[in-house]
């Protein structure tokens, strides 16, 4: 895929300085860019790279005053970062998510409908009685069980597995290997110590603009729904148990796990490898640092938590600082004991 | 799927009070139920909801004495909880696991046999020389390698991957994306610091009534077998390394990891995100709390462990309680030092 | 698959003592071996088993002097361990990875090429403009996106998912369900608290002899490449974020997670469930113990780290030893306070 500097400038409504006929075939960081690359300069901290970059063209602000001569062509725009992000989105769509049409063999169950302008990859499977919107992208090996609903513009990458009766909103992204709607981990102990499986007949609801990472797992509710609300972003290998609710625009980083029936508020951030016990409530704007374990509900908004078990971040940092010096603390204590209570002379 | 209250009562051998002709199309919790729902009342703590529920019918005990009038129909049975679970199982089978027949294209390798009354979804793959029992449910995209044995009534959800020579018992459930039989992580260090792969030629054996969660991974033995014994329940994203043995009716919650050659006893419980070192033995009925790390064998039965490294739960709780106050402890110590050894006057 | 003791000895250029006509149909540990098994004795600690083993034959050193009579046949070779590993490799190839040819239906996109002597399983998918080498083994349900390059002798197990533009070297092993090239977790916060997805247009590069475990996830770079260097071994369920670099012959054990842009040196070892923060650099030969969390760069080579947050292993062990006795420490301190500052008499 190649464009000239002039063509790109036209799309961005920018003005070219330098050779508008150069061919661009990739996007790159200004400090790593080579011939054929287009880059951008938004943060002026990186301005020195402008005079040494190997990029064929750089997107810069209309107002930027050059302090040295440049080798690269410039495309001057109002907001370089936003213009570059627009190009990134265009590039990603052109190279990864823009495919349309149906590859065979693929499977579409009875009474299922799918909207206009979609892609269904080879070996993709859609069960019965599904309702799937427009512009939906279904990569190869995707499994969609019976009676699912999927909104417009949602992308399901290779091998994503959606159990029956799942509801997915618009413009969601489900990455490869993610499992949505697997059975909750519910077993009733029997008198002999064995377990009877409690059937899980609920479902999962993902609202609009939700992102689910590769190989993440989201269990269906025992009854009712496990819910991921609008705009929430779930990273790779995250576990979300049955009947959990994740609030709007909440971010859960990789390998975190949330136990059954816990409700997380809006605008929260869980860093990587965090664990939450079951049946908790986390207030809006709660932040939990990496590897922490939360065992109690958090009622006040905007708290920062750390540790396992987690408590207030500032107190946790202080306690950890002393933890490292415990051997010294113990020595000081022993010394004090000797001084105040000397051993009897023999 | 709709049934009348009367039809359901007949199945449960219950007696109807109220309108037996109402249509039921879903099961719900008594406090969330709406028209068309069937619910149940087992724990009398929830009795107040009986008089306000929106459910069309509620399953109650034959002995329950009403303290107020009810809007809902009642189905009176001997044991409401057990009756409701029976309905849940029936519902799950009807909606998810009851499918039978073969969807095409699917792949069945040479010399493989499969019993009666099974389901093989589109794009499912069965290798050569496999022996698969009756009533087995194989969802789309399931992979079963050569020379596997799978017992009657086992369910493999979409995209489960079973390596060659795996042995799976009866009535097991393998959730979507789970991998059973991948190579153990065995590499022999070479003089130059690189590694030579140690071929892993053993297999995995799952006994009867084992459940494996979505995207969990169970490695084959280097030689011999990795074994998950009868009734054990393994949650999503759990890692079980080569040559591990998991005892009967042991439960391993999500994201826990068990290192190579460790043997876990019967009736144990590992909570979420637990890590076990390799070559350990855990006695029967050991319980390990969430995020703990166990580095030593546990010989006495019935222990509760916590922490990383893990020790006795009670001691761990006490140590954690003081950990939070380490800064205060340090201040007290400093104060004491000053008091008993005042700085010399200048 | 059966061979006689004599046939195996011929392959290994060994000398038989005992019945060379016995049939061998499996490999086993010397202490577990039964009739029909071939075993080996390399570590003399296990020599007593030689006189009691049920194996039909045992590979031993040419120099071994028997101290008792043996029931088993012997195959004498120069290096028993190496000879046995050769047999293991042969066995694994014969039973698992030696398949060749194409099973249908499988999908090969336009302009993609694939070398000689390969296997493409049923329902495998190769996108457009891919270049795939000789002797490549592609199991069923593997997904390979557009414009990927895969070197000679690489094995992709069932359901491995390779996003577009990934580059994989020679003799790599990608286990079942692993995802290589999923989008990095990059979202730009907006003024209203929601997030705009930052398109991830980079790729993943795996050099030669890299191994990726089952259901592991490796994100593509935002721009540029996420790189796993020659000989690195990545275990099951590991998370590697965007723009990470893993050095040559570095080992990352199961369920560890490495955050964005972190660079790990050569010959490092991360044990299980380790977490690394983003934008760090770890020097060569760094070792991190299980469940540790590393938040700072490590500049000196050869360090051993432990804890969360991690520091020097020796200091961490000492601090942990005292942590367990914190309640006792607190008691000693309280006692000292009382002794040096007795409560006033009333």
State the Cα–Cα distance between residues C105 and C125, nearest whole angstrom. 10
Tell me the shortest Cα–Cα distance from A191 to chain C, in angstroms: 35
Mutation site for B-interface testing, chosen from C38, C85, C96, C231 by largest number of B Cβ within 10 Å:
C96
Give B187's contacts in chain C (Cβ within 8 Å). Answer: 211, 233, 251
pLDDT score for C94: 84
Q: Which token pair is A20?
A: 């508008």
Of the residues C49, C68, C242, C249, only one is catalytic, namely C242
Tell me which chain B residue has its CA closest to the CA of residue C266.
B193
pLDDT-based confidence at C142, cuts 50/70/90?
Answer: very high
The 3 state secondary structure assigned to chain B is CCEEHHHHHHHHCCEEECCCCCEECEECCCCCCCCCEEEECCCHHHHHHHCCCCCCEEEEECCCCCCCCCCCEEEEECCHHHHHHHHHHHHHHHHHHCCCEECCCCEECCCCEECCCCEECCCCEECCCCEECCCCEECCCCEECCCCEECCCCEECCCCEECCCCEECCCCEECCCCEEEECCCCEEECCCCCEEECCCCCEEEECCCCEECCCCEEECCCCCEEEECCCCEECCCCEECCCCEECCCCEECCCCEECCCCEECCCCEECCCCEECCCCEECCCCEECCCCEECCCECCCCCEEEECCEEEHHHHHHHHHHHCCHHHHHHHHHHHHHHHCCCCCC
Å between A192 CA and nearest CA of chain C: 33
What does the angle CA B199 – CA B204 – CA B207 come to, to the nearest 5 degrees?
170
Interface residue B233 vs chain A (CB under 8 A): yes
- Using CA atoms, how far residue B189 sits from A30, A302, B194, in Å, is 40, 49, 6
Alpha-carbon span A232 to A174, nearest angstrom: 12
Q: In whole angstroms, what is the distance from residue C68 CA to residue C320 CA?
A: 49
Over residues A187-211, the mean pLDDT reads 95
Whether A183 and B176 lie within 8 Å, measured CB to CB: no
- Can you tell me the distance from the alpha carbon of C106 to that of C291, in angstroms, rounded to the nearest whole number? 42
Measured in degrees and rounded to the nearest 5, phi and psi for residue C18 equal: 110, -160
Task: Determine which helix (DSSP H) or strand (DSSP E) holds C234, and give its type and residue range.
Answer: strand C233-234
- Contact indicator for B59, B41 with CB cutoff of 8 Å: yes
Q: How many CB pairs under 8 A join A and C?
A: 175
CB contact under 8 A, C255 and B255: yes
Q: What percent of chain A has pLDDT over 90?
A: 88
pLDDT of C20 reads: 95
Cα first-last separation, chain B: 92
Task: Pinpoint the alpha helices (H) of chain C.
Answer: 5-12, 47-50, 80-92, 313-323, 326-340
Strands B23-24 and B3-4: antiparallel
- Mutation to test the B interface, candidates C104, C161, C215, C288, most B Cβ within 10 Å: C215
* Edge-to-edge order in the sheet of strand C73-77: C15-17, C73-77, C57-61, C37-40, C26-27
C321's tokens: 């030893």
Of B280, B283, B225, give the one whose Cα is nearest residue B258.
Answer: B280
Distance, in Å, from the CA atom of A136 to the CA atom of A118, rounded to the nearest integer, reads 5
Q: Which of A68, A242, A279, A325 is catalytic?
A: A242
Contact by Cβ (8 Å): C44, C115: no
Residue spans of alpha helices (H) in C231-312: none
The nearest CA of chain B is from the CA of C158 a distance in Å of 7
pLDDT at A344: 58
8 Å CB contact between B132 and B116? no
Report the residue of B214, B327, B341 to disrupt the A interface, i.e. the one with the largest count of A CBs within 10 Å: B214
SS3 A93: helix
Total-model pTM = 0.94
- Chain A residue with CA closest to B289: the answer is A277
B259·C249 Cβ contact <8 A? no
Q: Is A267 on the interface with C (CB under 8 A)?
A: yes
Averaged pLDDT score across all residues of chain C: 95
State yes or no: cis peptide before B105, omega within 30 of 0.
yes
Contact of C163 with chain A, judged by CB distance below 8 Å, is answered with yes
Q: C43 CB near a chain B CB, below 8 Å?
A: no
Active-site entry in B141, B242, B279, B325: B242
Give the model's pLDDT for residue A343: 59
In this complex, the residue of C188, C197, C217 whose CB is nearest that of residue A211 is C197
> Which residues, including other chains, have CB under 8 Å from residue B46's CB and lie 6 or more apart?
B30, B31
CB of A215 within 8 Å of a chain C CB? The answer is yes
What is the average pLDDT across C147-153?
Answer: 98
Question: With contact defined as beta carbons under 8 Å apart, do A192 and A174 qualify?
Answer: no
Bridge partner list, C182 = C219
Written as one string, the DSSP assignment of C55-110 is -SEEEEETTPPPSS--SSEEEEES-HHHHHHHHHHHHHIIIII---EE-SS-EE-T
Closest to A340 (Cβ–Cβ): which among B141, B254, B340? B340
Tell me what pLDDT residue C39 has: 94
In angstroms, the CA C326 to CA A70 distance is 64
Nearest to C122 among B107, B275, B322 (CB): B107
Q: Which of A188, A217, A308 sits opposite B291 (nearest CB)?
A: A308
Report whether pLDDT(C339) > 90.
Answer: no
pLDDT (tens, 9 = 90+) of chain B, 346 residues, equals 688 999 999 989 999 999 999 999 888 999 989 999 999 998 889 999 999 999 999 999 999 999 999 999 999 999 998 898 888 888 888 888 889 999 999 999 999 999 999 999 999 999 999 999 999 999 999 999 999 999 999 999 999 999 999 999 999 999 999 999 999 999 999 999 999 999 999 999 999 999 999 999 999 999 999 999 999 999 999 999 999 999 999 999 999 999 999 999 999 999 999 999 999 999 999 999 999 999 999 999 999 999 999 999 999 999 999 999 999 999 999 999 888 876 555 5
For C73-86, letters b (16+ CB in 10 Å) and e give bbbbbeebeebbbe
Interface test with B, best of C39, C211, C257, C290 (most B CBs within 10 A): C290
Mind telling me how many Å the CA of C276 is from chain A's nearest CA? 9
Return the structure tokens found at A72: 């690269």
Predicted confidence band of residue C322 (pLDDT cuts 50, 70, 90): very high
Comparing C-alpha atoms, which of A321, C216, A143 is closest to residue B327?
A: A321
C114 contacts C126 by C-beta, under 8 angstroms? yes
If 0-12 CB within 10 Å is exposed, 13-18 middle and 19+ buried, where does residue C5 land? buried
Per-residue pLDDT tens over the stretch B97-118: 889 999 999 999 999 999 999 9
Shortest Cα distance, chain B CAs vs residue A134, angstroms: 24
Q: How confident is the model at residue A219 (pLDDT cuts 50, 70, 90)?
A: very high
**Residue C200 and residue C205: Cα distance in Å, rounded?**
15
Residue-level pLDDT at B1: 63
Q: Which of C6, C1, C53 is nearest to C31 (CA)?
A: C53
| Number of residues written out for chain C | 346
Distance CA B289, CA B271 (A): 5
Q: Using a CB-CB distance cutoff of 8 angstroms, which residues of chain B are in contact with residue A193?
A: 249, 266-267
Q: Which residues, 6 or more positions from B178, have their beta carbon under 8 angstroms from its beta carbon?
A: B157, B160, B161, B212, B213, B214, B215, B216, B217, B218
What span, in angstroms and rounded, lies between the C-alpha atoms of C224 and A325? 42
How many Cβ atoms sit within 10 Å of the Cβ of residue C6? 16
Inform me whether the C-beta atom of residue B122 falls under 8 Å from chain C C-beta atoms. no
Asked if C193 lies within 8 A of A89 by C-beta distance, the reply is: no
Closest CA to C58 of C44, C45, C43, C76: C76
Q: What is the pLDDT of residues C27-79, one digit of tens each?
A: 889 998 999 999 999 888 999 999 999 999 999 999 999 999 999 999 999 99
Q: Find the closest chain C residue to B198 by CA distance.
A: C85
Query: Are B197 and B216 within 8 A, CB to CB?
Result: no
Nearest residue on chain B to A144, judged by CA atoms?
B158
Could you give the CA distance from residue B330 to residue C318 in angstroms, rounded to a whole number?
18
B331 close contact with C: CB closer than 8 A: no
The answer to whether the Cβ–Cβ distance between C201 and A27 falls below 8 Å is yes
* The two structure tokens encoding residue C251: 């080992």
Identify which of A159, A185, A308 has the shortest CB distance to residue B235.
Answer: A185
Measure C50 CA to nearest chain A CA, in Å: 41
pLDDT of residue C96: 84
Contact state of A223 with B29 under an 8 Å Cβ cutoff = yes
CB distance A130 to A144 below 8 Å: yes
Scan residues 50-109 of C and list those with Cβ closer than 8 Å to A: 105, 107
pLDDT above 70 covers a percentage of chain A that reads 98
CA distance B112 to chain C (A): 16
pLDDT at A342 (0 to 100): 61
Nearest residue in chain B measured CA to CA from A273: B273
- Work out the minimum CA distance from C89 to partner chain B, whole angstroms: 6
Active site residue A242: yes
Whether the CB of B21 is below 8 Å from some CB of chain A: the reply is: no
Residues in C closer than 8 angstroms to A336, CB to CB, are 336
* B284 interface with A at CB cutoff 8 Å: no
Q: What is the spatial distance between Cα C180 and Cα C238, in angstroms, rounded to a whole number?
A: 11
> Angle at which helices C326-340 and C313-323 pack, to 10 degrees?
70
User: Per-residue pLDDT tens for C230-264?
Assistant: 999 999 999 999 999 999 999 999 999 999 999 99
Instruction: Encode pLDDT of A255-291 as tens digits.
Output: 999 999 999 999 999 999 999 999 999 999 999 999 9
Task: Tell me what pLDDT residue A339 has.
Answer: 85
3-state secondary structure (DSSP) of residue A258: strand
Closest residue in C to B214 (Cα) is C215
Cβ distance C176 to B182 less than 8 Å, yes or no, reads yes
Per-residue model confidence as pLDDT tens digits over A26-83: 889 999 899 999 999 988 899 999 999 999 999 999 999 999 999 999 999 999 998 9
Q: What is the mean pLDDT of residues A117-126?
A: 98
Asked if omega into A193 is within 30° of 0 (cis), the reply is no
pLDDT for residue C95: 84
Could you give the CA distance from residue A72 to residue A56 in angstroms, rounded to a whole number? Answer: 5
At A6 the three-state DSSP class reads helix
Query: Hey, are the CB atoms on C214 and B182 less than 8 Å from each other?
Result: yes
- A152 and A171 Cβ atoms separated by less than 8 Å: yes
Number of inter-chain CB pairs under 8 A, A vs B: 176
pLDDT digits (tens, 9 = 90+) for C77-100: 999 998 988 888 888 888 888 899
Output the six-digit token pair for C263.
Answer: 């660079």
ipTM surpassing 0.90, yes or no? Answer: yes
Choose among C197, C199, C239: nearest Cβ to A255.
C239
| Residue of C29, C139, C236 lying closest to B239 (CB–CB) | C236
Cα angle for residues C277, C281, C283 (degrees, 5° grid): 130
Which of B177, B193, B322 is facing C327, going by the closest CB pair? B322
Q: Any idea what DSSP says for residue C287? A: E
Question: Of B302-306, C179-183, C270-274, C338-342, where does mean pLDDT reach its minimum?
Answer: C338-342
Q: What is the pLDDT of residues B122-140, one digit of tens each?
A: 999 999 999 999 999 999 9
Are the C-beta atoms of residues C172 and C115 closer than 8 Å to each other? no
Is A341 within 8 Å of chain C by CB? yes
Candidate from B123, B201, B315 with C-beta closest to C27: B201
Task: Tell me the three state secondary structure of residue A88.
Answer: helix
């Amino acid at each position: 895929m190649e464009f000239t500097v002039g063509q790109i400038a036209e799309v961005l409504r920018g003005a070219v300085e330098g050779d508008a006929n150069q061919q661009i075939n990739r996007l790159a960081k200004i400090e790593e860019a080579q011939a054929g690359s287009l880059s951008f300069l938004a943060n002026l901290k990186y301005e020195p790279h402008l005079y040494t970059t190997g990029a064929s063209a750089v997107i810069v602000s209309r107002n930027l005053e050059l302090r040295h001569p440049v080798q690269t062509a410039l495309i001057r725009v109002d907001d370089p970062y936003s213009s570059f992000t627009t190009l990134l989105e265009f590039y990603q769509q052109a190279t990864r998510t823009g495919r349309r049409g149906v590859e065979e063999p693929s499977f579409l169950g009875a009474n299922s409908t799918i909207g206009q302008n979609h892609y269904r990859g080879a070996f993709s499977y859609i069960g019965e009685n599904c309702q799937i919107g427009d512009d939906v992208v279904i990569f190869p090996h995707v499994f969609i069980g019976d009676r699912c609903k999927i909104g417009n513009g949602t992308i399901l990458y290779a091998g994503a597995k959606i159990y029956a009766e799942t509801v997915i909103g618009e413009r969601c992204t489900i990455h490869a290997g993610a499992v949505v709607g697997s059975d909750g981990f519910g077993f009733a102990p029997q008198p002999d110590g064995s377990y009877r499986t409690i059937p899980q007949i609920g479902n999962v609801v993902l609202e609009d603009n939700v992102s689910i990472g590769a190989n993440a797992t989201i269990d269906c509710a025992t009854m009712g729904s496990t819910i991921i609300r609008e705009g929430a972003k779930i990273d790779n290998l995250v576990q979300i148990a049955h009947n959990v609710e994740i609030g709007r625009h909440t971010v859960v980083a990789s390998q975190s796990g949330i136990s059954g029936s816990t409700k997380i508020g809006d605008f929260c951030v869980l860093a990587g490898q965090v664990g939450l016990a079951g049946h908790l409530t986390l207030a809006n704007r709660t932040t939990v640092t990496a590897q922490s374990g939360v065992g109690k509900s958090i009622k006040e908004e905007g708290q920062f938590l750390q540790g396992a078990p987690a408590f207030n971040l500032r107190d946790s940092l202080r306690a950890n600082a002393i933890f490292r010096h415990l051997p010294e603390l113990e020595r000081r204590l022993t010394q004090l004991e000797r001084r105040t209570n000397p051993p009897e002379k023999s």
